[in-house]
Amino acid sequence: MEFLGLFVTASIPVLKVLLVTALGSYLALDHVSILGEETRKHLNTIVFYVFNPALVCSNLAKTITYESMIKLWFMPVNVLITFLVGSILGWIVIHFTRPPQHLRGLILGCSAAGNLGNLPLIIIPALCKEEGSPFGDPDVCYTYGMAYVSLSMALVMVNLQIGAICLWSYVYNIVRLSSRSIKDIPVSKYSRESSNSSDAGSSIEPLLLSSPELVPPVDDAGGYALPRTVHEGKAEIVGFIIGLVPQIRKSMIGGSAPLRVIQDSASLLGDGAIPALTLIVGGNLLKGLKGSGIKKSLVVGIIVTRYIALPLIGILIVKGAVHFGLVQSDPLYQFVLLLQFAVPPAMNIGTITQLFGAGESECSVIMLWTYALASISLTIWCTFFMWLVG
């Protein structure tokens, strides 16, 4: 297929994401006030506890078997590699830009942790439905594409999986450690931001108490364990069980299955995840318009890391894995692996910065620019990835 045709095919899904994201930003404006901060908070809770589990569970149940699990073993390794390579690149950015101490964890987190669940969840289905898609029959592409993306999402959401450990234990702790340096800065510098606290560190406690859904659980040693969002992997586990146990699978999956209404209901709920997630992302990006004192070189460094260096390294890793027989020859599977190297920073990093009151405004600016440029970057890389695997 001609490269121009692939570019048009790749641009349509990204444009869909861009339009719905722009709608989310509009609905979050103060004079519109339909998708305000409290509304986004409640909608995000519904997405996390209802829509996402239903989507992941239904897709895993339909396509995950013992055979497919063996074939897909490289995906958790790929997720880990994205974190490791991103971390190395993040340290390089820190070395050259020399940011304030309390922002180093933020930079490292944005470089290491990508949006491995939400964006592929939006892009893959839309890409499969395009006429110019190189991945064959739209229905087959959609079924297996959603299985790959759901598995990627499960790796991020289930606490026993690689993605969650990296995102919450690794990124969470580097932001926590770097935020401690704020306490060494004169209080007067931050008095404008928190008039009710004597220093930035003391403002953390009321924030945590007022936002229980953001509070990570406290372990026996008194330190923070993985946040509660990471422990909500029950739906993913159920999806694996349904797919892997033949008796349960036959009773729920298929047009003649006696309990197919359960699977159909889960799929119906899961369909609400994609538009809701995209609207929330659009609303959250508004914070970045207020600006901050962040150096431009930091934003540029993160953009170069996530949209140039990581995808190029990802191509070498994935094609090398294919060459040595570590990855199956399925073009769609290879495309998903490559896409994991090209996504913008994980939105959960914003939640982590809120927990410690360190770099929250800077994080908003980083998210604004990285997600604004993602429309261009993802279109280009999706085009190249489709040409590469096709």
Predicted confidence at residue 198, as pLDDT, reads 37
Nearest to residue 125, comparing CAs of 5, 277, 328, 303?
277
Q: Helices then strands (H, E): number in the chain?
A: 20, 0
Instruction: Decide: 225 and 173 in contact? Cβ < 8 Å.
Output: no
Predicted confidence at residue 207, as pLDDT, reads 34
Establish if 134 belongs to a structural domain.
yes
**pLDDT (tens digit, 9 = 90+) per residue, 187-234?**
444 344 444 433 433 333 333 333 333 334 333 333 334 444 444 456
Q: How far apart are CA 70 and CA 328, in angstroms?
A: 10
Establish if 150 belongs to a structural domain.
yes
Establish if 223 belongs to a structural domain.
no
Q: Which positions of the chain have pLDDT values less than 50?
A: 158-164, 185-232
The total number of structural domains that make up the chain: 1
Predicted confidence at residue 211, as pLDDT, reads 36
Handedness of CA 75, 77, 80, 86 (dihedral sign): negative
**pLDDT (tens digit, 9 = 90+) per residue, 137-176?**
888 888 888 878 777 766 655 433 444 455 555 566 666 6
Predicted confidence at residue 162, as pLDDT, reads 46
Establish if 116 belongs to a structural domain.
yes
Q: How far apart are CA 323 and CA 330, in angstroms?
A: 13
Maximum Cα interatomic distance, the chain, rounded to a whole number of Å: 69
Q: How many CA atoms lie within 13 A of 227 on its CB side?
A: 23
CATH of the domain at 108: 1.20.1530
Residue with tokens 């510098």: 189
Q: How far apart are CA 54 and CA 232, in angstroms?
A: 12
Establish if 84 belongs to a structural domain.
yes
Domain of 17, in residue numbers: 3-179+233-389
Q: How far apart are CA 168 and CA 53, in angstroms?
A: 19
Q: How far apart are CA 161 and CA 205, in angstroms?
A: 29
Predicted confidence at residue 188, as pLDDT, reads 42
Establish if 213 belongs to a structural domain.
no
Establish if 226 belongs to a structural domain.
no
Q: How far apart are CA 375 and CA 372, in angstroms?
A: 6
Give the CA distances from residue 280 to residues 20, 98, 113, 164, in Å, rounded to whole numbers and listed in that order. Answer: 10, 32, 19, 21
